[in-house]
Structure formats: C-alpha cells, structure tokens
Amino acid sequence: MQIGIVGLGYVGLPLVIQFAKSGVQVLGIDVDDKKVEALNRGESYIKHIPASEVQAQLETGQFEVTTDYARVQDLDAVLICVPTPLDANKEPDLSYVLNTGRAIAPHLTKGTVVVLESTTYPGTTEDELRPILEQGSGLKAGTDFHLAYSPEREDPGNPDSQVAKIPKVIGGYTPACLEKAKAVYSLAIETLVPVSSCRAAEATKLLENIYRSVNIALVNELKLIYHAMGVDIWEVIEAAKTKPFGYTPFYPGPGLGGHCIPIDPFYLSWKAREYGMPTRFIELSGEINHAMPQHVVQRCAEALNETGKPVKGSRILLLGLAYKPDVDDCRESPTFEVMDRLKSLGAEIQYFDPYFPEVPQTREHSDWTGFKSMNWNEDNLRKCDLAVILTAHNGVNYAQLAEWISIVVDTRNTMAGVETGSTKIWKA
Ligand SMILES: NC(=O)c1ccc[n+]([C@@H]2O[C@H](COP(=O)([O-])OP(=O)(O)OC[C@H]3O[C@@H](n4cnc5c(N)ncnc54)[C@H](O)[C@@H]3O)[C@@H](O)[C@H]2O)c1
C-alpha cells in the first residue's frame, strides 16, 4: 500500500514519519517547495521532530516528498492535513481544504481512500469536499472511491505523546468507506475508534477543543474573582486536583494560543447559525479568554505604578513568544497582543524566547517580523524595569531572572518554586 499525506506541517509531518516507521510506503505532498526541499535534504523545520527521524525514513526509501499532485494517481490512500484558519471576519476559511480537493480530484483513481484530517465543522467532508472530489474526478464517493474523516490529536512538544499510541477517531461516508479507512490507519495506529459518520467524527474533534476552551475560560474567570478575594487560583487548583474523581485540572494563562483552541470552536459557532442555534458557551469562553492579554497589561501597569513608574518609557521584557512551552510555534500566541498593547502605551519592548531568535513572518503581526530575541545576560536583564512570563519554556533560568529584575509579572505560576529574594512577583 502507498499512502499520500497532503500538508506537511505540525500534523502531517509526524503522521508521515509514523506511517514510514510502521513500514508503509509514504508520499508527502506540500505546496510549499521550501518545505519539500528541506525534507528531501533530510532536514526538519519543526523543532520537536529531529532531522535524524526524517533522514532515517528517507534512507529506508519508505518516504518521499513532492509538490506534484499527479503522483496521487499511484496512491491507495490520501490523508489531508492542511490548515483550517479563520478569515479576516473570523469565519471558517476552508480554502486550503477545498483547493487540496481540487488538486487531488483529477488524479483520483478507483478504489482510493480519501481522508480529511483538518479540524472543521460537521458536514465539511460530505457536503464541501465530496462534491469537489466527485466533480473533478468523475467518480462517486462510496461507490468508486472511499471517503472518511479522522481528526488529528497531535500534542506538540509533549515527549510522551506518540502518534501511534493516540487513539484515532474515524467516521466514514458509508460503512464500507469506514472499513477501508480503518484498514489504512491500522497500519500505523494502535487503537481505532470508529464512529457512525464523518459528521460524528468532525463533531468529536470540536467537542474536545471546545471543552478545553470553556474550561480554560472558567479558570481564567475564577483567577480574577479569587484574586479580588485574596485567594490564589494556583493553590486552589493544586488542592482541587487531589480529588480522585470528577475533576480535571485546567490552568489559567495570558490567553489562548496555537492553531486549534482559539480557532476551532468558532467553526461550530458559524455552522450553528445556519440552524438558528446560539453557541453561548463558545462565545462566553472566547470573550473571557480574549480579555486575558489586556488583564496582563493591566497587571504590568499596576506593578510599575507601585514603584512610581509609568508604562510609557519603561523597558519591559516578555518571556516566551511561542504559545506553549518547548515548541517553536507562535501561531495565535497571546504574546503578540500583549506586546502590541504595551507598545501602544509607550513601553520599550524586549522579548526572550530560545525557540525564536527573531519574530517570524506572521499574517496578523507583521510589524514585529525580524524583531530579535534579547541576549540573555545580566547586563541586559538588569536594564529591564519589569519582566512578564507569558510562556514558561523549560531551560530558561528563572532564578537569574529573579536575581536581575526587580519586578516579575507571572501568568504561569513559574516563579512558585524559585528563590526570588527581594524581587516582587505579581501573579496575573
Ligand atoms: N498543530 C496542531 O497541534 C494540531 C492538532 C490537531 C489538529 N490540527 C489541525 O490540523 C490541520 C493542519 O494543522 P497544522 O498545524 O499541521 O498546519 P501547518 O500550517 O503546520 O501545516 C499545513 C501544511 O499544509 C500545507 N498546505 C497548505 N495548502 C496546501 C495545499 N493546497 N496542498 C498541499 N499542501 C498544502 C502548508 O504548506 C503546510 O505545510 C488544521 O486543520 C489544524 O486545525 C492541528
């Protein structure tokens, strides 16, 4: 069997490697020729995927990469892992998925299994992707080719997260489509979770992400309420999580980041409008989580104020550009909004992130592109009036931070176990 994986990003590349490791012949397809060239040279552009893994699979001959969609005609299965962002009006942007469908369709042959993995609203696979594949190929889904949806559950940066071991939900367009898709994934994934339809599988992924967004909003709101009452939310969560049943800990922070949690819930809100259904939990959690960067800025202002300094003219160091610890992914990172807001108040901004020596090109924050991470040394740190921890990467020396900077605003409770001396810690 030869499997094609379209979209070699944070989701597609680990999947390619997992299939190749399992002895399956894999063809990676991406429109970005820089990524294709890098992989063909045996390089990795994702920090937590070592180049050695790419090289090992290239050497076995199990793994090839191309930009050429004509190769789809040789494949037994095509798995689609392209982006599903929101557009400028915060509405679903399915253009990557639909363009991929248009590119695949002319090369689709009878018997091929097509699976969409990108996160999206219920109905996308059957109502949006299927007609494009059918029109472009002249073939019928469920009769001539097989169609399924199977959401990715990648957890970037978590060393215990192994693609093969994460159970995989799959829904087919027909029962036969489901069986064919299961046969594909069973080559590389240990546990499969079949559901009754593509819609049910699409809805499962959204439930998982909405659950996180809502629970993060809950602790973010409780953080503010408890703070006003003189209670530390972090202490409360540690205590609550000793309950052996009925409680899962979630943690507050400076706002949501990454390609999933800030975006995916709004795919459902948009679709629910068609059914005249409000999505109150999604809207409310979005509102609370989106207010967090401003809360962090407010805490920085209060902290400076206590020492008689205005934000204007103060040198503020932001720690962590990535949206979560130990990854080189800054998509939707709340750090950008905190930087923007502090800058607009006249602060002199510095940032430090070992994963980002400089700010990469982003769609929404291009003003910061090329801005360099500060060199970590005593001289530079002592020049800062305040540091704010937004993402707590391991390997950053927080003891030095406390030694060299007199005010630290901490959104992650990172300083809890650190000897802080006379430095004042402001939780935010
Ligand atoms: N990143 C995560 O942790 C994560 C987890 C679960 C699900 N997802 C979902 O998986 C999907 C992919 O996310 P990602 O983080 O891997 O995105 P990504 O941006 O890292 O990678 C997407 C890749 O698709 C390529 N691409 C775009 N259009 C293409 C086309 N027409 N043909 C071929 N390649 C094309 C891009 O060049 C890029 O390499 C999204 O729907 C996302 O919501 C992501």
Greatest CA span in the chain, whole angstroms? 73
* Tokens 């190929």 found at: 137
Which of 303-309's residues contact partners 24+ apart within 8 Å by CB, and which partners? 303/386, 303/407, 303/409, 303/424, 303/426, 304/385, 304/386, 304/407, 306/424, 307/406, 307/407, 309/385
| Residue 97 Cα: closest atom of ligand 1 | 31
The per-residue pLDDT for 399 is 96
Residue 129 has pLDDT above 90, yes or no: yes
Which residue minimizes the CA distance to atom 13 of ligand 1?
83
Helix (H, G, I), strand (E, B) or coil at 186: coil
219 CA distance to ligand 1 centroid (A)? Answer: 29
Which residue minimizes the CA distance to atom 10 of ligand 1?
118
| Catalytic annotation present for 260 | yes
The per-residue pLDDT for 207 is 98
Taking only the tens place, the pLDDT of each residue in 279-317 is 999 999 999 999 999 999 999 999 999 999 999 999 999
pTM: 0.94
75 CA distance to ligand 1 centroid (A)? Answer: 20
Phi, psi at residue 3, to the nearest 5°?
A: -110, 140
261 CA distance to ligand 1 centroid (A)? Answer: 14
Q: Residue 272: left if φ>0, alpha if ψ -120 to 50, beta else—which one?
A: alpha
Name the token pair of 310.
Answer: 């205005």
Helix (H) or strand (E) holding 268: helix 264-274
Q: Ligand 1, residues 10, 29, 107: which to mutate, most atoms within 8 A of Cβ?
A: 10
Residue 88 has pLDDT above 90, yes or no: no
9 CA distance to ligand 1 centroid (A)? Answer: 5
Q: What's the pLDDT band for 363 if we cut at 50, 70, 90? A: confident
Taking only the tens place, the pLDDT of each residue in 169-184 is 999 999 999 999 999 9
Q: What's the pLDDT band for 204 if we cut at 50, 70, 90? A: very high
The per-residue pLDDT for 373 is 98
Catalytic residue among 260, 300, 330, 384, which?
260
273 CA distance to ligand 1 centroid (A)? Answer: 26
Name the DSSP letter for residue 151. -
Where does ligand 1 bind, in terms of residues with CB under 6 Å?
Answer: 6-12, 29-32, 35, 81-84, 96, 99-100, 103, 118-119, 152, 154, 156, 259-260
Which residue minimizes the CA distance to atom 15 of ligand 1?
10
Name residue 118's beta-bridge partners: none
Distance CA 371, CA 91 (A): 30
Question: Where in 43-160 does DSSP place strands (E)?
Answer: 63-66, 77-80, 113-116, 146-149
Is there a contact between 41 and 18 (Cβ–Cβ < 8 Å)?
Answer: no
Distance CA 321, CA 393 (A): 10
- Find the distance separating the first CA and the last CA of the chain, reported in whole Å: 53
Which residue minimizes the CA distance to atom 3 of ligand 1?
154
Residue 315 CA, distance from chain mean position: 30
Q: How confident is the prediction for the chain on average, in pLDDT?
A: 96
Q: Which of 394, 398, 395, 391 is nearest to 412 (CA)?
A: 391
Q: Is the dihedral of CA 94, 96, 100, 102 positive or negative?
A: positive
Distance CA 335, CA 356 (A): 13
Instruction: Give the CA-trace dihedral at 149, 48, 94, 207, to 10 degrees.
Output: 50
Distance CA 319, CA 37 (A): 33
The per-residue pLDDT for 314 is 98
